[in-house]
């Protein structure tokens, strides 16, 4: 069959891009997803929607994405289950300078954010133990949303605009000749096209390798624990990321919390098609200990379950975005290292513009694949690269 654009990958980024391609009138668009839309790592995201980044394009994408999460129903006719809680980033003294610089960047770009003293943090949540905390960043408009609902919502809205969504169909090969894309071979058959966007997470590397493209990415197994604090504790009211202890927590239904660790290195490099999707008891104990140190009154939190997903991690924990050198019509959006979901609503629009040859409203050139061969890795202001 013939198409104008093929999008490979039905996670939040690919589904958003397909929707925005249709809005831009990109012609016949086919979204190819080997499983179910939103059924991969997107469906297992913790779903934190924050705007604290070190690089201006990421702050701007996060700001615009937050706006779209808030009005997701207006945009797609569906719900992303966005819940506004505020976002609190606790930091030791060694991280305060970078934290303040990031907040200043956010404020310059129109984000509501402020630096809090430990005394102000204590007033925000008196239950917190502030041992090791020298200050914090606070975003009152941030929160969390649902990964599966977001991807499925974008895909459903894309269908209504004429996009063909092929679920259970694997992209087997991106085909090219004479230095330009000619199509995609899928398990359903060949699709001839002149433009392909590969947004297939860690599986992107395998699709690019036959074209002679080295895409440096590993699959990192990342675990999440669900805890139920004692009834007298009440509900966790904010999304918390803690640079002092190296963990995060966010509210979940039924008064529970989802929690995990903030690591600079991949937790465990795995085969993305064969890994333990459960949670290790040693990890549960570790997270429980960190939670207890920060919330001593909830130290007896009950373990309610957990799961593991994968991050597609690049050497600098930043995504690869845009055209691939040497193959006209080939674009990539992968290697998000845990950032993809919160950026996807606005990023999908920018990717669609790029694929259609239109000017971008956010300069994303710094995320080019060539930065790895040029030794120009991106570094943020915080010691942990996954904070962006």
Task: Name the phi and psi angles at 8, rounded to 5.
Answer: -100, 115
Convert the chain into a string of H (helix), E (strand) and C (coil).
CECCEEEECCCHHHHHHHHHHHHCCCCCEEEEECCCCCCCHHHHCCCEECCCCCCHHHHHHHHHHHHHHHCHHHHHCCCCCCEECCEEEEECHHHHHHHHHHHHHHHHCCCCCEEECHHHHHHHCCCCCCCCCCEEEEECCCEECCHHHHHHHHHHHHHHCCCEEEECCCEEEEEEECCEEEEEEECCEEEECCEEEECCHHHHHHHHHHHCCCCCCEEEEEEEEEEECCHHHCCCCCEEEECCCCEEEEECHHHCEEEEECCCCCCCECECCECCCCCCHHHHHHHHHHHHHHCHHHCCCEEEEEEEEEEEECCCCCCEEEECCCCECEEEEECCCCCHHHHHHHHHHHHHHHHCCCCCCCCCHHHCCHHHHCCCCCCCCCCCHHHC
219's CB contacts (< 8 A; 6+ apart) are: 202, 269, 270, 271, 272, 275, 310, 311, 312, 313
At 40-90, the pLDDT tens digits run 999 999 999 999 999 999 999 999 999 999 999 999 999 999 999 999 999
Above 80 in pLDDT, residue 265? no
Rounded Cα distance between 222 and 377, Å, is: 23
CA-to-CA separations, 294 to 175, 211, 241, 291, 318, in angstroms, rounded: 52, 49, 11, 5, 29
At 345-354, the pLDDT tens digits run 999 999 999 9
**pLDDT at residue number 382:** 85
At 214-244, the pLDDT tens digits run 999 999 999 999 999 999 999 999 999 999 9
DSSP bridge pairs for 250: 258
Rounded Cα distance between 78 and 107, Å, is: 30
**pLDDT at residue number 39:** 95
Find out whether 130 and 118 touch, Cβ atoms under 8 Å. Answer: yes
Find out whether 237 and 243 touch, Cβ atoms under 8 Å. Answer: no
At 87-118, the pLDDT tens digits run 999 999 999 999 999 999 999 999 999 999 99
> Which pTM value belongs to this model?
0.97
**pLDDT at residue number 175:** 98
Above 80 in pLDDT, residue 383? no
- Structural domains of the chain, with CATH: 5-47+147-217+316-387 (3.50.50.60), 86-141+218-313 (3.30.9.10)
Above 90 in pLDDT, residue 388? no
Average pLDDT, stretch 290-309?
A: 97
Find out whether 194 and 330 touch, Cβ atoms under 8 Å. Answer: no
Above 80 in pLDDT, residue 266? no
At 8-18, the pLDDT tens digits run 999 999 999 99
Find out whether 7 and 31 touch, Cβ atoms under 8 Å. Answer: yes
Find out whether 87 and 142 touch, Cβ atoms under 8 Å. Answer: yes
Above 90 in pLDDT, residue 173? yes
At 18-52, the pLDDT tens digits run 999 999 999 999 999 999 999 999 999 999 999 99
Average pLDDT, stretch 358-377?
A: 96
Average pLDDT, stretch 155-164?
A: 98
Within 10 angstroms of residue 47's Cβ, the number of other Cβ atoms is 26
């Amino acid at each position: 069959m013939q198409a104008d654009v093929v999008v490979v990958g039905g996670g939040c980024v690919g589904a958003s891009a397909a929707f925005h391609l249709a809005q831009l009138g990109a012609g016949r668009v086919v979204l190819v997803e080997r499983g179910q839309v939103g059924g991969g790592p997107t469906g297992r995201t913790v779903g934190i929607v924050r705007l604290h980044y070190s690089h201006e394009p990421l702050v701007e994408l996060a700001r615009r994405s937050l706006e779209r999460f808030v009005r997701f129903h207006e945009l797609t006719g569906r719900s992303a289950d966005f819940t506004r809680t505020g976002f609190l980033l606790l930091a030791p003294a060694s991280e305060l300078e970078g934290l303040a610089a990031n907040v200043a960047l956010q404020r310059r770009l129109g984000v509501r954010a402020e630096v809090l003293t430990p005394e102000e943090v204590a007033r925000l949540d008196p239950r917190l133990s502030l041992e090791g905390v020298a200050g914090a960043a606070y975003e009152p408009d941030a929160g969390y949303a649902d990964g599966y609902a977001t991807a499925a919502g974008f895909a459903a809205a894309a269908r209504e605009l004429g996009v063909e969504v092929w679920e259970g169909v694997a992209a087997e090969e991106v085909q090219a000749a004479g230095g330009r894309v000619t199509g995609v071979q899928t398990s359903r058959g060949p699709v001839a096209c002149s433009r392909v966007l590969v947004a297939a997470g860690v599986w992107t590397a395998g699709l690019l390798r036959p074209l002679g493209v080295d895409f440096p990415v590993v699959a990192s197994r990342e675990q999440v624990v669900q805890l139920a604090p004692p009834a007298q504790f009440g509900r966790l009211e904010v999304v918390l990321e803690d640079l002092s202890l190296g963990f995060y927590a966010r509210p979940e239904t039924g008064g529970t919390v989802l929690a995990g660790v903030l690591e600079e290195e991949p937790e465990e490099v795995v085969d993305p098609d064969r890994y333990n999707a459960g949670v290790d008891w040693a990890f549960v104990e570790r997270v429980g200990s960190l939670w207890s140190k920060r919330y001593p009154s909830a130290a007896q939190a009950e373990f309610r379950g957990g799961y593991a997903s994968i991050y597609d991690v690049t050497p600098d924990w930043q995504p690869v975005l845009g055209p691939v050198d040497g193959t006209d019509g080939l674009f990539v959006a992968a290697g998000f290292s845990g950032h993809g979901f919160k950026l996807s609503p606005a990023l999908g629009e920018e990717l669609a513009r790029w694929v259609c040859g239109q000017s971008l409203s956010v300069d994303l050139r710094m995320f080019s694949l060539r930065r790895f061969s040029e030794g120009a890795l991106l570094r943020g202001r915080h010691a942990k690269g996954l904070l962006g």
